[in-house]
Every structure is written in C-alpha cells, then in structure tokens.
Amino acid sequence: MASKKFLELQDMTQEQLESEYAITLSGYKKMKIDHAIKGLENPLTLREARRDVARLSSEVRRRQLANVAPETRTKIRARRRRNK
C-alpha cells in the first residue's frame, strides 16, 4: 500500500516537486549542521527529513525516466549490464 506522502507527490506538478525538493534538501542540510553544533531536541527529525529528500528525489527521477524514449532506455540498460 502506498503511503499518503507518496500519493501526494504524484499529484504535484514538476515545478512544485522541484521546488519542494530544493526546500526540503536545504532544510535537511541546515538540520544536520545544527545537530552537529548544538544538537537537536529530537534527532529523529533528521531521519524523517532524509527520507523525505529520498522520496522527492525518487519521484523526480521516476518522472525523468518516464519522459525518456524507450530506445534510449534500452541503451542505458544494455550499458549497465555490460559494465557489471
């Protein structure tokens, strides 16, 4: 079953998704620095922010791959298999 956050991301436009990704990533970096310097009240917020960043970047990448021509995707897959 898909999470509510994942379903919300699918409803966003590409511009909304990219801006949300930038905001979340900068917030996560700021939290990491704050945690290293003075500590956070709840360090588990770092985990939640990291997962949000991963969720957003996965959705951005999924949309990029959906817009790529099928011929290009097969070339990419063949190159990956050859390099293993």
Position with higher pLDDT, 48 vs 71 = 48
* 1.10.287, 1.10.8, 2.40.160, 3.40.1130: CATH of 4-83: 1.10.287
DSSP E strands in 1-84: the ranges are none
Q: Read off the pLDDT band of 68 (50, 70, 90).
A: confident
Do 50 and 82 meet the contact criterion of CB atoms below 8 Å apart? no
Task: Tell me the pLDDT tens digit for each residue of 12-30.
Answer: 888 999 999 999 999 999 9
Domain boundaries, the chain: 4-83
Do 10 and 59 meet the contact criterion of CB atoms below 8 Å apart? yes
What does the pLDDT read at residue 1?
52
| pTM for this predicted structure | 0.76
Q: How far apart are CA 35 and CA 62, in angstroms?
A: 31
Q: Is the dihedral of CA 27, 33, 35, 37 positive or negative?
A: negative
